Structure formats: structure tokens, C-alpha cells
Amino acid sequence: MRDVVKSTRSVIVVRCLSCQHRGIIAERDLVRFGLNPGAPIARFVKRLRCRKCGSGSVMVRRSHSRNAVA
């Protein structure tokens, strides 16, 4: 039988309040934008824009994504 290890990755879930479009940013990708992983959401939420409609009215939360790794 094969062992499956569950790993948990922290992600940032972004939802546009205008058009309901959803997106995900991996926590480790914050470094590309000059932020430390684990940075408070309040530090960067005002920079976010919806890719679909361009609205700056977004709701952001942290979540954990589980992926099976063999």
C-alpha cells in the first residue's frame, strides 16, 4: 500500500465584491511583491485589483489548501 502524506499550504483567497470573481495567491508568492510570507493582509489589500473587472473592492482571507503528496 502506498503512503500518502498530507501537506498544508497557506494561500490567500481573493474575491471581488463587484463581479464575484475569485483568485488565489500562494503565500510564498508574496515575496515577488516585496512582502514577507505571513505579512498582515492589511499591508497589501489596497494594492489588489480584480483581474476580470478591475475593481479594487475585494475581500481577502487566508486559508489552508491541502494537497496529497506521495
Query: How far apart are alpha carbons 47 and 30 in whole angstroms?
Result: 12
CA distances from 44 to 2, 34, 48, 59 (A): 41, 10, 7, 12
pTM: 0.75
Least confident of 18-22, 51-55, 60-64: 60-64
Mean pLDDT, all residues of the chain = 85
Band of residue 66 on the pLDDT scale cut at 50, 70, 90: low
- The predicted structure's pLDDT at residue 22: 96
Give domain limits for the chain: 5-69
Task: Taking residues 40-44, report their average pLDDT.
Answer: 94
